[in-house]
Structure 1
Amino acid sequence: MSDELWVFGYGSLMWRPGFPFVERSPATLAGRRRAFCIYSVHHRGTYERPGLVLGLAPGGSVRGAAYRIAPADRAGVYAYLMEREQPTETYIEARRWVRLADGRRVECLVFLSDVHHPQWAGALSLEQQAQLIAGATGLSGRNVDYLRDLVEHLGREGIVDRSMEVLLGLVEGMEP
């Protein structure tokens, strides 16, 4: 295996990676879908008032972004991602093949939702998701702002996710 590292992002890593990279490409991961399926007790909620954050739930496919990391930056980027993505170890670190926009297939580091973790929320209705997101706040800010950023940035990438748009409308209707 080369010293090169590719990282797949499907949420905030798409617009705020926070690490150096030498290449970024739109990419698609098969077999997983973007979903608000993780109770957030750190970044977007608390133990007393959990919010929801995105995870890669089983099924479907997801469009996101793949980043190629220079070999010299590999260790630092990996350490940063472990701190950012694993504060409560709700994800399983894995390697999965993704298809880049130019047709190449590359193996990426991805963080899959751990369906056995206590923070796994599973398949919630849009109404249930909205109730959890509305009013939740954590160390990284308000949960609704995370959802709003997601919808806005997906649109900038040309990704239409109607369920996320509907969810945002529900949450904004509940916000004070």
Structure 2
Amino acid sequence: MTHFPAAHPRDPALSLERTKTEWRGTGDLWVFGYGSLIWRPDFDHAEQRLAHVHGWHRALKMWSRINRGTPERPGLVFGMLSGGSCRGLVFRVPQAQGSGVLDRLWQREMAMGIYDPRWLPCKTPQGMVRALAFTLSRKSPSHTGELREDEYRRIFAEARGTFGSTLEYVRRTHEELRRQGIHDRALARLLRLAHGEDR
């Protein structure tokens, strides 16, 4: 039986306090979305823009043991890993609502304390913004490391959690990226694997 290392949560309250201190509340809050946030942000925002981040990339290499899988059959969700670049969306939250939105984001994204929240420079058509992004360390127990093609196929076929299947999550992300004019070739290739295609 395959052993999947358990996640080691850090204190989400401390990271939320630190993030609020770094934001300072002196202007609007920007949030970078690269996975489910792009199709289900779950918070009100005044504006959204296409954005490009350098130095980080979207990767389907984070174990999900509740939302898109189970402890016995973990699923996958996206994380941002260092290296490369990533296209996604940034959302502008008015200053007055920023603290409350951060609270909700921590309930959704940081309940297990797995992500590393970071402020990243994001290039948008209207100029640069500094946005909050949820990144993943390769040292995290929730990082999958390299997965073989047959492992991706098995996970797509089997993994299902509280919010649905890994495959549904990946498809919805891919569909919204394409709707926004963003073409992620690595993600498209993973979806072809799910259908038994090798290219």
Task: Provide the TM-score with structure 1 as the length reference.
Answer: 0.91
Q: Secondary structure at the match of 2:147?
A: coil
Letter of the 1:64 counterpart:
G
Letter of the 1:82 counterpart:
W
Task: Output one character per residue of 1:57-98: Cα deviation in whole Å (capped at 9) or x when no partner.
Answer: 111000000011011211111011111112322210111111
Q: Distance in 2 between matches of 1:137 and 1:30?
A: 32
Q: Note the residue ranges of structure 2 that are not aligned, 5 or more in a row.
A: 1-23
Equivalences for residues 105-116 of structure 1 within 5 A: 105-116=128-139
Q: CA deviation at 1:124?
A: 2.5
147, 156, 162: which one aligns with 1:133? 156
* Inter-CA distance 125–159: structure 2 relative to 1 (3 Å threshold): farther
Q: Secondary structure at the match of 1:134?
A: helix
Does the aligned pair in 1 maintain the 2:38–2:173 contact within 8 Å?
Answer: no
Letter of the 2:110 counterpart:
Q
Q: Distance in 2 between matches of 1:92 and 1:46?
A: 22
Counterpart of 2:169 in structure 1 is: 146
* Inter-CA distance 107–126: structure 2 relative to 1 (3 Å threshold): farther
Q: Distance in 1 between matches of 2:111 and 2:88?
A: 22
Q: Distance in 2 between matches of 1:54 and 1:126?
A: 17
Q: Distance in 1 between matches of 2:55 and 2:91?
A: 20
Q: Note the residue ranges of structure 1 that are not aligned, 5 or more in a row.
A: none
Equivalences for residues 13-32 of structure 1 within 5 A: 13-32=37-56
Number of equivalent positions: 173
Letter of the 1:26 counterpart:
L
Q: Larger Cα Rg: Structure 1 or Structure 2?
A: 2
Q: CA deviation at 1:129?
A: 2.6
Letter of the 1:157 counterpart:
Q
Identical-pair percentage: 38
Q: CA deviation at 1:46?
A: 1.0
Equivalences for residues 29-48 of structure 1 within 5 A: 29-48=53-72
Q: Distance in 2 between matches of 1:114 and 1:156?
A: 29
Q: CA deviation at 1:101?
A: 2.0
Q: Distance in 2 between matches of 1:88 and 1:131?
A: 25
Does the aligned pair in 2 maintain the 1:52–1:129 contact within 8 Å?
Answer: no
- Any runs of at least 4 consecutive aligned residues in structure 1 with deviations exceeding 6 A, and if so which? none
Between 155-164 and 126-135, report the one with greater CA deviation: 126-135
Letter of the 1:148 counterpart:
R
- Structure with the larger strand share: 1
Equivalences for residues 28-107 of structure 1 within 5 A: 28-102=52-126, 104-107=127-130
Letter of the 1:42 counterpart:
I
Between 124-133 and 30-39, report the one with greater CA deviation: 124-133
118, 123, 135: which one aligns with 2:141? 118
* Inter-CA distance 90–129: structure 2 relative to 1 (3 Å threshold): farther
Q: CA deviation at 1:153?
A: 1.0
